Amino acid sequence: MAGGVAIKRKRRKSFVEHTLAGLAATTAHALQAEEITKADGLLQHLDPRVKVVGLLALIITAALAHSLWIILTLFVIALTLALLSQVSIRTLARREWIGVLVFTGCIALPAIFITPGHVIYRLPLLHWPITEQGVRSALYLITRVETAATFSVLLILCTPWTHVLKALRVLHVPVVFVVILGMTYRYIFLLLQTAHDMFESRQSRLIGKLEDREQRRLAAASVGVLLSKSLQLSNEVYLAMQSRGFQGEVYTLDEFMMQPRDWIALFSFLVVAGLGFWWGR
Amino acid sequence: MYAGAVPFWYCALQRVKRLLHTRLVPLLSVFAAFSFVIMMFNLPLPGGTTGHAVGMGLTTVVLGPWASMLAISVALLIQALFFGDGGVTAYGANCFNMAIIGSLVAYAVYRVIAGRAPLTHSRRVIAAALAGYAAINVAALCAAIEFGLQPVFFKDATGAPLYAPYPLHIAIPAMLIGHLTFAGLAELIISGGVVAYLQRTDPSLLKATAPGARDVDATQEITQSGWQVTRPLWVGVALLMLLSPLGLLAAGSAWGEWAPADFKNPQARLAIARASGNSAPPTQAPQGVEKLSSIWTAPMPDYAPKFLKSEKLGYMLSAMFGTGLILMAFMVIAAIVQVLDGKRQTDELVAANGNGAS
């Protein structure tokens, strides 16, 4: 009987399994993004520089707006852009909205009761006051974050990462940073794979459950191994770069070309951002 | 917050470039990827919960504070931009708190506690663990202060906060309770655990941030500059600078900082009396104060230059100006100490060589 009860109870996943799942999910997340960048949509066809500048302008407008209506309008614009770019609402919700809502919601919820101001409702039984200012403040926080997050995820979903990086040069991000970002992105996948393999091999040799103390030792040892592997890798990459004539100077090939539709898009982005900024002061 | 972070990035880049030259790009890239990946690790914490570590204690111990702040900034950017954790607009603040302040605090704590202990000494494990713990908590405190100040500065017409809604007395405990317990523990376990692991497998990786370790030869000790010795002080100053706008939130004026006119104003009199243990202040301003106040008009009356209409902005600027003055004073002192120190060390070296020769 006791055994039956024990079997029925859901086994708590070990940290190795949790980490394995997390690592795999991250890789899947990135692969999905890569697939959407190849779709035939509005944003995918625009010059990456236009997208970086235009969407950043809209994000800043959403961040600075002092009016809920302006933020909501920007959110609707983001939704329209998503639909025109073949990014489904479901993808947006799964990638961004739900996570942001849970996280920001947790932060915003107590504000409804705590913020001093005009009381509009009292919770039955608990008698907690809900203030108008509290509700407004929570709405500001959530809509602002959701809108900005939607714009930034649209940029990433509709532009290959290498193009985003190249386009960052328009914002005068130093070229060495751009190169580091590009290489980091590449090595993230290598190290994700390495970590995944390490945990998988460990998991396959594991019977029963590790004690918490042992788990922590295992976690620290895995990080340590990954650290030495990373250092070794960076040495090898360095030697490989040096043998190909790397002298510390970085050159990039810039082959972006602005088409008439890019100029129209840039103009529209900036006009919307400007109007939003003006009305939302 | 971007404005706060940029000088640190610039400074870090210059330092790291000088040190690494062509190695910079591959080392930083791989380490940023490493920090990104370990942020995904699900750490089992005591009590059956799990948490994630940022790993700033660890990267600082292995790479030193400057390279660490760059690597973590890059990892955070990819996280913010590509994986949508933490928005683009919050990126500046995130970097300032975690990458910059975190790395500096971790380095200071690690160096102070580890002292000159040998590379494989258990003291270094404790130092790294506490460095990680302190770094994440100071970062959380900074974030809480940034949150807490937002409702003071940004409100809409109805008085509803536009950004973070909580005042300091809620934001600070809310942030710190979580970090002093769970997030801090994750950082503590990773920093301490990995340093212990590296001590067993490859202690040479710990060498970079242990210039005074006892098994290192004497010539290296001499190259240690006064800057490294005084670094904890610098961190303290930086923290004070961050905390300075807190004064804005204290109600009323500080005890003893009354203006002559306050003695005539009944409300101000009441406030002074309350602050002074209910002893009534004189009805007239003390003659000395009145006389002095006419002679001495401060260059920044009430901490705000006249051309600055906004009191808050003036207060912040004055705080920065003040801290700037203090920083300059520190720099002068540090330079003097360094010169004296260098002189003493050369003297000792000469003396030692002289003894050896005779």
Q: What is the CA radius of gyration of chain A?
A: 24
Considering only the beta carbons, identify the residue of B37, B87, B160 that sits closest to A148: B87
Residue B247 has a pLDDT of 43
Contact B163, A108 (CB under 8 A): no
Q: Quick check: is A58 in a domain?
A: yes
Tell me the range of A268-277, B123-132, B281-290 where mean pLDDT is highest: B123-132
- Do A52 and A131 belong to one domain? yes
Per CB-CB distance under 8 Å, the chain B contacts of A59 are: 88-89
Contact state of B160 with A136 under an 8 Å Cβ cutoff: yes
- Taking contacts as CB-CB distances below 8 angstroms, the residues of chain A near B31 are 230, 234
Where is average pLDDT lowest: B129-143, B168-182, B344-358?
B344-358
- One domain for residues A138 and A178: no
With residue A8 as reference, give the H or E element that holds it.
helix A2-8
Q: Are A155 and A52 in contact (CB under 8 A)?
A: yes
| A10 within some domain | no
User: Which residue type does A51 have?
Assistant: K
In tens, the pLDDT along B67-114 reads 888 888 888 888 777 665 556 667 777 788 888 888 888 888 888 888
- pLDDT of A120 reads 73
Q: How many residues does chain B have?
A: 358
Higher pLDDT, B177 or A178: A178
Give the CATH architecture of domain B2-216: Orthogonal Bundle (1.10)
Among A119-123, A183-187, B30-34, whose mean pLDDT is lowest? Answer: A119-123
Percent of chain B whose predicted confidence (pLDDT) is above 70 = 47
Q: Tell me, yes or no, whether A178 and A156 share the same domain.
A: no
The predicted structure's pLDDT at residue B202: 79
Least confident of A4-8, A67-71, A81-85, B6-10: A4-8
Compute the radius of gyration of chain B from its Cα atoms: 25
Reported as a single tens digit per residue, the pLDDT across A202-241 is: 888 888 777 777 888 888 888 888 888 888 888 888 888 8
Q: Is the ipTM of this complex over 0.90?
A: no
Of the pLDDT bands very low, low, confident and very high (cuts 50, 70, 90), residue B319 is very low
Q: Show which of residues 4-43 on chain A sit within 8 Å of chain B, judged by CB atoms.
A: 15, 18-19, 22-23, 26, 29-30, 33
Interchain proximity A179–B25, CB inside 8 Å: yes
| Better pLDDT: B247 or B351 | B351
**How big is the A-B interface in CB pairs under 8 Å?**
229
Instruction: Check whether residue A154 and residue A89 sit in a common domain.
Output: yes
| CB-CB under 8 Å, A115 with B26 | no
What is the predicted pLDDT for the residue at B184?
79
Q: Tens digit of pLDDT for each residue in A128-169?
A: 777 777 788 788 888 888 888 888 888 888 888 878 888 887
The nearest alpha carbon in chain A to B41 belongs to: A19
pLDDT at A275: 83
Mean pLDDT, residues B190-196: 85
CB contact under 8 A, B40 and A219: no
Banded model confidence at residue B358, pLDDT cuts 50, 70, 90: very low
> What SS3 state is found at A152?
helix
Kindly give the interhelix angle for B168-178 and B122-153, rounded to the nearest 10 degrees.
Answer: 150
Q: Does B205 contact A247 at a Cβ distance shorter than 8 Å?
A: no
B252: helix, strand or coil:
coil
- The whole-number pLDDT of residue A96 equals 75
Please give the C-alpha separations between residue A193 and each of A25, A139, B240, B256, in angstroms, as whole numbers. Answer: 12, 40, 43, 64
CB nearest A219 (choices: B29, B31, B41) = B41
Does residue A28 sit within a domain? no
Taking contacts as CB-CB distances below 8 angstroms, the residues of chain A near B165 are 108, 111, 114-115, 134, 137-138, 141
Q: With 50 as the cut, is the pLDDT of residue B294 above it?
A: no
Q: How many CB atoms lie within 10 A of CB B88?
A: 20
Q: Which residues of A touch B23 (CB under 8 A)?
A: 234, 238
Does residue A99 belong to the interface with chain B, where contact is any CB pair within 8 Å? Answer: yes
User: What is the rounded distance in angstroms from the CA atom of residue A175 to the CA atom of residue A183?
Assistant: 12
High-pLDDT (> 90) share of chain B, %: 0
> Which chain A positions have a beta carbon within 8 Å of B40's beta carbon?
19, 22-23, 26, 192, 195
Question: Which A-chain residues 42-71 have CB contacts (< 8 A) with chain B?
Answer: 56, 59-60, 63, 66-67
Residue A136: which of B28, B32, B156 has the nearest Cβ? B156
What CA–CA distance (Å, rounded) separates A131 from B138? 33
Helices (H) and strands (E) in chain B, counts: 14, 2
Q: How many whole angstroms separate alpha carbon A21 and alpha carbon B138? A: 31
Q: How many domains does chain A have?
A: 2
The torsion defined by the Cα of B242, B247, B249 and B251, in degrees rounded to 10, comes to 170
Q: Tell me the three state secondary structure of residue B50.
A: strand
| Residue contact A228–B43, C-beta within 8 A | no
pLDDT in tens, A58-114: 888 888 878 888 888 889 998 998 888 888 888 888 777 787 777 777 777 777 777
* The pLDDT of residue A76: 92
Q: Is residue A60 part of a domain?
A: yes
Q: What pLDDT, on a 0 to 100 scale, did the predictor assign at position B196? A: 86
Residues A50 and A145 in one domain: yes
Whether A93 and A182 map to the same domain: the answer is: no
Mean pLDDT calculated for residue range B33-49: 76
Beta-bridge partners for A121: A130
A251-278 burial code (b ≥16 CB/10 A, e <16): eeeeeeeeeeebeebbeebeebbeebbe
Chain B contact present for A138, CB below 8 A: yes
Partner residue facing B33 (CB), from A23, A141, A184:
A184
Query: Three-state SS across A215-274?
Result: HHHHHHHHHHHHHHHHHHHHHHHHHHHHHCCCCCCCCCCCCCCCCHHHHHHHHHHHHHHH
Residue A224 and residue A144 in one domain = no
Q: Indicate the residue of A22, A63, A176 with minimum beta-carbon distance to B25.
A: A176
pLDDT for residue B222: 36
Query: Which of B26, B34, B46 has the CB atom closest to A191's CB atom?
Result: B34
Judged by CB atoms closer than 8 Å, whether chains meet at B27 and A134 is answered as no
CA distances from A184 to B16, B33, B89, B272 (A): 17, 5, 21, 59
Per-residue pLDDT at A267 exceeds 60: yes
pLDDT (mean) for B163-187: 72
What's the pLDDT at B1? Answer: 64
Chain B residues in contact with A108 (beta carbon < 8 A): 165
Same structural domain, A180 and A127: no
Pairing of strands B43-44, B50-51: antiparallel
Q: Flag whether A65 is in a domain.
A: yes
Query: What are the residue ranges spanned by the domains of chain B?
Result: 2-216, 217-248+306-358, 260-297
Q: Is A121 in a helix, a strand, or coil? A: strand
Same domain, A153 and A66: yes
**Domain span including residue A87:** 42-160
The DSSP call for residue B9 is H
Q: Do B38 and A180 touch (CB under 8 A)?
A: no
**A73 compared with A277, residue with greater pLDDT:** A73
Chain B positions in Cβ-Cβ contact with residue A247 (cut-off 8 Å): 22
Range in A249-258, B137-146, B178-187, B278-287 the model is least confident about: B278-287
Cross-chain residue pair A15–B62, CB shorter than 8 Å: no
Query: Residue A61 falls within a domain, yes or no?
Result: yes
A66 and B30: CB-CB below 8 Å?
Answer: no
Query: A137, B161: Cβ pair inside 8 Å?
Result: yes
Contact B267/B144 with Cβ under 8 angstroms?
no
What pLDDT sits at residue A248? 65
CB distance from A101 to chain B under 8 Å?
no
Same domain, A70 and A179: no
A66 and A102 both lie in a single domain: yes
Chain B residue numbers with beta carbons less than 8 Å from the beta carbon of A141 are 163-165
Distance, CA of A225 to CA of A234 (rounded, Å): 14
